[in-house]
Amino acid sequence: MAVPSPSYTTTLRVLVGTSPRATAEVVSAVVDAGGSVMGVDVVHSGAEGLTVDITADTIDGEHLERVRDAIEAVEGASVSKVSDSTFLLHLGGKIEVTSKVQLRTRRDLSRAYTPGVARVCKAIAANKEDARRLTIKRNTVAVVTDGTAVLGLGDIGPEASMPVMEGKAALFKEFGNVDAWPVALDTKDTEEIISIVKAIAPAYGGINLEDISAPRCFEIEARLRDELDIPVFHDDQHGTAVVVLAALINALRVVDKKLEDVKIAVSGVGAAGHAIIQLLIAQGARNIVAFGRNGALHSGHPESDPHRQWVADNTNAEGFSGSLKEGLAGMDVFVGVSSADILNGDDVATMADDAIVFALANPDPEVDPAEASRTAAVVATGRSDYPNQINNVLAFPGLFRGLLDAGARHIDSEMLRVAAVAIASVVSEDELNPSFIIPGVFDPRVGEAVAEAVQGYASQQLAKAAGKAPTAKTEATPRAPWAEVV
């Protein structure tokens, strides 16, 4: 599984001799140590030798040390400096605030700030709805975290979560032209988090909850959705669910099966697994078995957590009670949002013909994609170095773009379903194949399609609430009768 990655790109400054083969020997040493050389640049030439910058991708920190040792083992070569490209990219942070207006004259200042700004303040005080029109609220999202469930790192705290939250804000801007700002909270108390988010909400058009551990994330999202008049979205749950559904819609097109007919195994019943199951049911899935650490969830075994109980009550109609490996036999679809290396190729081979495997644990999936591909018809992972990457960036920028453009106040499961269908529709019949069931993250059609679909649906809902005729159409796919606020 482990291969050199751009996330471990390093530049090593090396002093080598003047021999014609000196630099070539160093490059060969890097390659022999498993590094992937991206560039060789001569920085300085002198009588004592050459100073050369060698840029290479490595697997991890330990691998980098092996590469460095290999260079040092070359006669006459020494490493004077090591620069990690990922750390260099983060120096000073990844985002900034820039002004949308020019402030070059006294006249500019008098309109953007005092005394002219007072007139705008008075207008908003008279009608708070004008804040959406006259402030950054119309295009701004708070990315809120407490740092308790960051990537696969767990509870690392609010400060350590900031690089991820900054990255999230950068993705919002790049792929949705949405202005987002990290809000890292130094508290794990559910009531405090809810209170703080409610207090800062007037400045934002939406709230994106990020990397908050389960089960607290369920209550925080539900309470904020009830108590705020702006959309609240927990990306770890619903962003993943939207992209999984989109990919599964297209994977089923590849194998010519229908969602309502297939048997689906879901490994992992935390925030993402719960949301995935909800959305699959909303799209029409009828036969899902969810697996936790202790095996299949079923209604015959009471769960202490209400969200796990919901899963038990709404899946596994036949009451299967075995392990994941046992339950995988005969399944058409596997969706993993759990732990690395819990399955192998032999387990996948027990699935039905033309099986679909989504192994989404990061950085290492539930089953080696190469092993799964021996018998499965379609394989997807959460990794960027394999085909069919299930990446939340396909969902949340366009979703919030549509929400903000519509002035939406709430998110429901039908809106998420519509977003998933929009992502799936980007892949044309000519493009669709087992290695391309989901668009790439840099495909500009994705954000546009999601934003248009979400804005259309949200506008319809707002018009209905206001007693007006709808002015936009959403995707022409049937709405599930049990779709409800999630």
Question: What is the four-CA torsion angle of 106, 111, 115, 118, rounded to 10 degrees?
Answer: -170
Residue given tokens 């022409």 in the structure block: 476
Measured in degrees and rounded to the nearest 5, phi and psi for residue 76 equal 85, 0
DSSP symbols for 48-101: TEEEEEEEEEESSHHHHHHHHHHHHTSTT-EEEEEEEHHHHHHTT-S-----SS
Q: What is the amino acid identity at position 61? A: G
Q: Which of 94, 100, 137, 168 is catalytic?
A: 168
CA 451 to chain centre: 17
| For the chain, counts of helices (H) and of strands (E) | 18, 14
Cβ neighbours around 85 below 10 Å, total: 16
Query: Do you find a cis peptide bond into 215, omega within 30 degrees of 0?
Result: yes
Q: Is 168 labeled as catalytic in the residue annotation?
A: yes
Rounded to the nearest 10 degrees, what angle do helices 216-227 and 271-283 cross at?
60
Beta-carbon contacts of residue 258 (< 8 Å; ≥ 6 apart): 252
Rounded distance between C-alpha atoms, residue 389 and residue 368, angstroms: 14
- Specify which residues 150 forms β-bridges with: 154
Q: Which of 113, 258, 464, 473 is catalytic?
A: 113
Rounded distance between C-alpha atoms, residue 315 and residue 397, angstroms: 31
Cβ neighbours around 90 below 10 Å, total: 14
Encoded tokens for 250: 């297209």
Sheet with 36-46, strands from edge to edge, namely 36-46, 49-58, 5-16, 78-84
DSSP symbols for 410-430: ---HHHHHHHHHHHHHTS-TT
> How many Cα atoms sit within 13 Å of 60 on the Cβ side?
4
Phi-psi region of 177 (alpha: psi -120 to 50; beta: other; left: phi over 0): left
- Specify which residues 5 forms β-bridges with: 58
Q: Is 113 labeled as catalytic in the residue annotation?
A: yes
Beta-carbon contacts of residue 125 (< 8 Å; ≥ 6 apart): none
Q: Would you name the residues annotated as active-site residues?
A: 113, 168
